[in-house]
Amino acid sequence: MQTALLAIGSAVFYIVAYNTYGRWLARKIFQLDPTRKTPSEEQEDGVDYVPSKPAIVFGHHFVSIAGTGPIVGPAIAVIWGWLPALLWTLLGSVFMGAVHDFGSLVVSLRNRGRSIADLCGSTINARVRALFHTIIFFEIWIVLAVFCLVIASVFSMYPSAVFPVWIQIPIAFVIGKIARKKGVSMTIPALIALFLMFVSIFIGVKYPELQPVFGGKTFSPVLIWTVILLAYCFIVSTLPVQTLLQPRDYVNALQLVALLALLFFGIIIVNPVIVAPAVQLKPQGAPSLFPFLFITIACGAISGFHSIVSSGVSSKQVSNEKHALPIGYGSMLLEGYLTVLVIIAVTAGIGIYYKTPKGGVLNGVAAWQTHFSSWGAADTLGKKVGGFVEGGANILQAFHIPRSFAVALLGVFVTSFASTTLDSATRLQRYVITEFGEAAGVNVLKNRYVATGIAVLTALILALWDIRCPEGWNFKGCGKGGLMLWPLFGAVNQLLGGLALMVVSVWLYRKKKPVWITLIPMIFMIVMTGWAMIVNIRDFYGTPGQIHLFWIGLIVFALEIWMILETLMIFFKPAIKAGA
pLDDT in tens, 304-328: 989 989 998 899 999 999 999 999 9
The residues that bridge with 465 in the sheet, in sequence order, are: 473
- The Cβ of residue 389 has, within 10 Å, a number of other Cβ atoms equal to 28
Domain ranges of the chain: 3-572
pLDDT, mean of residues 29-44: 94
Going from the C-alpha of 162 to that of each of 101, 134, 208, 459, the distances in angstroms are: 32, 35, 7, 22
* pTM assigned to the model: 0.86
Residue-level pLDDT at 481: 44
Helix residue ranges, H only, 380-447: 381-396, 403-440
Q: Can you give the pLDDT at residue 159?
A: 85
As a whole number, the mean pLDDT across the chain is: 84
Question: What pLDDT score does 544 carry?
Answer: 72
pLDDT of 307 reads 93
pLDDT tens for 436-469 read 888 778 889 889 899 999 999 988 887 776 544 4
The answer to whether 56 and 254 are in contact (CB under 8 A) is no
pLDDT value of position 476:
47
Instruction: Specify the DSSP class assigned to residue 362.
Output: E
Mean pLDDT of 189-211: 82
3-state secondary structure 463-484: HHECCCCCCCECCCCCCCCHHH
Q: Work out the average pLDDT over 172-192.
A: 76
Tell me the C-alpha distance between 274 and 345, whole Å.
Answer: 9
**Whether 328 contacts 102, CB under 8 Å:** yes
d(CA 417, CA 342): 14
Neighbours of 543 (CB within 10 A): 14
Question: Which is more confident, 248 or 201?
Answer: 201
Which H helix or E strand runs over 354? strand 354-355
Beta bridge partners of 52: 318
pLDDT tens figures, 507-539: 998 899 999 999 999 999 999 988 988 998 888
Which residues, including other chains, have CB under 8 Å from residue 28's CB and lie 6 or more apart? none
Give the lowest-confidence range in 258-267, 298-307, 567-576: 567-576
Q: What is the pLDDT of residues 83-112, one digit of tens each?
A: 999 999 999 999 999 999 999 999 999 998
- What is the per-residue pLDDT for 379? 57
Q: What is the C-alpha separation between 394 and 271, in angstroms, rounded?
A: 11
Q: Please tell me whether residue 377 adopts helix, strand or coil conformation.
A: coil
Residue 475 pLDDT exceeds 60: no
State percent of the chain over pLDDT 90: 35
Check whether 477 has a pLDDT greater than 80.
no
Give yes or no for residue 271 having a pLDDT over 60: yes
Mean pLDDT, residues 242-260? 82
Per-residue pLDDT tens digits for 397-429: 889 988 888 988 888 888 887 787 888 889 889
Taking residues 351-357, what's their average pLDDT? 85
* Alpha carbon 124 to chain centroid, angstroms: 27
Parallel, antiparallel or unpaired: strands 361-362 and 354-355: antiparallel
Least confident residue range of 31-45, 207-221, 353-367, 420-434: 207-221
In order of 74, 184, 261, 446, the CA distances from 188 in angstroms are 35, 10, 20, 40
3-state helix, strand, coil split of the chain in percent (to 5) is 75, 0, 25
Sign of CA dihedral 449, 164, 186, 418: negative
Q: In this predicted structure, which of 80-84, 210-214, 224-228 has the lowest mean pLDDT? A: 210-214
Give me the mean pLDDT over the 194-209 stretch. 85
Nearest alpha-carbon partner for 244 in 164, 161, 162, 171: 171
Nearest-angstrom CA–CA distance, 114 and 116: 7
- Between CA 259 and CA 164 the distance in angstroms is 14
Report the candidate in 322, 292, 226, 251 with the shortest Cα–Cα distance to residue 27.
322
The contacts of residue 97 (CB under 8 Å, 6+ apart) are 300, 301, 302, 303, 306, 332, 335, 336, 497
Contacts of 187 (CB under 8 A, 6+ apart): none
* Domain 3-572, CATH among 1.10.260.40, 1.10.300.10, 3.40.50.1820, 1.20.1740.10: 1.20.1740.10
Exposure letters 53-86 (e unless 16+ CB within 10 A, then b) = bbbbbbbbbbbbbbbbbbbbbbbbbbbbbbbbbb
361-385 pLDDT, tens per residue?
Answer: 888 999 988 888 887 776 566 677 7
CA distance 320 to 32: 9
